[in-house]
């Protein structure tokens, strides 16, 4: 599943479609570090932007290129559509459903184990074994985009038949032998709800060990900040959450709220980035595994927590829950905050979210 794209803010809005590296303007004061940005478009079917502070452009480029290379590797591992020479990936697992276990890299094993554990413990709304159902929705969306006048919702009997092949307990992970086996030959994995966030978290932890300690990675709406902005002015990054009714851009109308944070992730799931219309009905991509229909409680849900993979999982899960149930879940989890945008435009937030919101008085500036 694709996520909506929050607008990354670091003093000014910097979300832009460009490639390569550019030095950013800073206030006129002596700086030890300069700010740079680097953008690439060839991973996870989205725009990925790296912003950070380094002593030189050469140093920053070195970090950014390592991030790019690693994200490409993870994109290939989590790809359900394509095969790559010398790699077993999600597609390889699906192709061998009901046939044999597939030996895979640790990054696949760990992602599947995390999602299985969270599915059981924090809400059965994000199921990586829902691939057979999501494939049907994807086909109907593609047909609607090609011929909007003929757009339709999949018949429930077809969805129910596919749903008979979504038992996550039939995803067998053998950690010792590093294999994954789908017991049901008609089932398939789809890790799109968590892959970008999980990959981003892997990359951030690795690049910090390389010495890059002040930056943000924005991967298709999965925003992960690490360290503090080294500009001598701020000690927190600012992330703008998109207004569901606004146009993606840099105008005030496009920004619903700004949150200030460091060493944390912001992930938003919403109904307004990937959808098609059937008459006057918006049909979006966030499918409830119980109803097999798009979630219908909210316009958007934003999650703030440290781990980007878990934030990705939770944003979908909470989006597909009634408000009281989702709020109870969020408040039961340490270090997790949330913001809900209801269909009438009203907003609810957790107490911890209030403390980092611009509209509630929060700021990224260093306290004097």
- Cα→Cα distances 122→2, 39, 110, 314, 332, Å: 21, 34, 17, 8, 9
Range of the domain at 103: 90-182
Per DSSP, 337 falls in state E
Please tell me the total count of domains within the chain.
2
248 pLDDT tier (thresholds 50, 70, 90):
low
DSSP per position, 268-336: EEESSSSEEEETTEEEES-B-TTTSSB--SEEEEEEEES-HHHHHHHHHHHHTS-HHHHHHHHHHSTT-
pLDDT number for residue 25 = 52
Last residue of a domain, which of 157, 182, 207?
182
Residues tagged in the binding site annotation: 193, 312, 316
**Do residues 35 and 99 share a domain?**
no
Q: What is the domain-level CATH number for residue 277?
A: 3.10.520.10
pLDDT number for residue 237 = 97
Per the domain annotation, does 302 fall within a domain? yes
Residues tagged in the binding site annotation for Mg(2+): 193, 312, 316
Task: Give the pairing type, strands 20-23 and 171-174.
Answer: unpaired
pLDDT number for residue 247 = 54
Per the domain annotation, does 366 fall within a domain? no
**Do residues 343 and 219 share a domain?**
yes
**Do residues 329 and 203 share a domain?**
yes
Percent of the chain with pLDDT over 70: 90
Per the domain annotation, does 368 fall within a domain? no
Last residue of a domain, which of 182, 211, 231?
182
**Do residues 201 and 265 share a domain?**
yes
- 314 Cβ contact partners less than 8 Å away, ≥ 6 residues apart: 118, 122, 267, 303, 305, 330, 333, 336, 338
Minimum mean pLDDT among 44-53, 249-258, 301-310, 329-338: which range? 249-258
Minimum mean pLDDT among 128-142, 150-164, 201-215, 218-232: which range? 218-232
pLDDT at position 301 over 70: yes
**Do residues 252 and 276 share a domain?**
yes
Nearest to 267 by CA among 329, 334, 217: 217
Per the domain annotation, does 284 fall within a domain? yes
- Gyration radius from the chain CA atoms: 20
Per the domain annotation, does 2 fall within a domain? no
3-state class (DSSP) for residue 203: helix
Q: What is the domain-level CATH number for residue 139?
A: 1.10.3980.10
200 pLDDT tier (thresholds 50, 70, 90):
very high
- Cα→Cα distances 242→230, 255, 263, 301, Å: 26, 5, 21, 11
**Do residues 210 and 157 share a domain?**
no
pTM value is 0.90
pLDDT at position 4 over 50: no
**Do residues 321 and 199 share a domain?**
yes
pLDDT number for residue 221 = 76
**Do residues 303 and 255 share a domain?**
yes
**Do residues 334 and 243 share a domain?**
yes
Per the domain annotation, does 367 fall within a domain? no
**Do residues 147 and 270 share a domain?**
no
Can you tell me the mean pLDDT for 200-208? 98
Last residue of a domain, which of 182, 214, 237?
182
């Amino acid at each position: 599943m694709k996520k909506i794209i929050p607008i990354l803010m670091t003093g000014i809005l910097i979300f832009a479609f460009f490639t390569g590296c550019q030095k950013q303007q800073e206030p006129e004061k002596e700086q030890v570090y300069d700010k740079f940005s680097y953008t690439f478009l060839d991973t996870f079917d989205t725009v990925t932007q790296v912003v950070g502070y380094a002593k030189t452009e050469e140093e920053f480029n070195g970090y950014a290129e390592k991030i790019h290379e690693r994200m490409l590797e993870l994109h290939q591992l989590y790809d359900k559509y394509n095969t790559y020479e010398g790699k077993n990936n999600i597609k390889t697992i699906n192709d061998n459903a009901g046939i044999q276990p597939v030996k895979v890299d640790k990054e696949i094993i760990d992602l599947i184990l995390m999602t299985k554990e969270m599915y059981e413990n924090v809400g059965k709304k994000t199921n990586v074994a829902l691939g057979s159902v999501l494939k049907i929705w994807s086909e109907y969306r593609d047909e609607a985009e090609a011929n909007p006048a003929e757009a339709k919702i999949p018949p429930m009997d077809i969805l129910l038949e596919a749903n008979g092949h979504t038992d996550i307990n039939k995803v067998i992970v053998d950690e010792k032998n590093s294999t994954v086996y789908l017991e049901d030959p008609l089932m398939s994995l789809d890790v799109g709800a968590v892959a970008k966030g999980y990959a981003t978290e892997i990359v951030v932890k690795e690049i910090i060990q390389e010495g890059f300690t002040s930056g943000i990675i924005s991967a298709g709406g999965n925003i992960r900040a690490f360290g503090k902005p080294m500009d001598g002015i701020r000690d927190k990054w600012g992330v703008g959450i998109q207004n569901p009714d606004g146009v993606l851009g840099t105008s005030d109308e496009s920004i619903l709220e700004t949150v200030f944070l460091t060493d944390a992730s912001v992930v938003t799931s919403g109904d307004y980035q990937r959808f098609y219309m059937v008459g006057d009905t918006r049909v979006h991509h966030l499918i409830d595994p119980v109803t097999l229909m798009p979630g219908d409680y909210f316009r958007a849900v934003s999650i703030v927590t440290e781990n980007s993979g878990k934030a990705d999982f939770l944003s979908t899960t909470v989006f597909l829950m009634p408000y009281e149930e989702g709020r109870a879940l969020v408040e039961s989890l340490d270090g997790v905050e949330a913001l809900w945008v209801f269909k009438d435009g009203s907003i609810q937030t957790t107490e911890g979210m209030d403390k980092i919101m611009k509209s509630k008085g929060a700021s990224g500036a260093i306290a004097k």
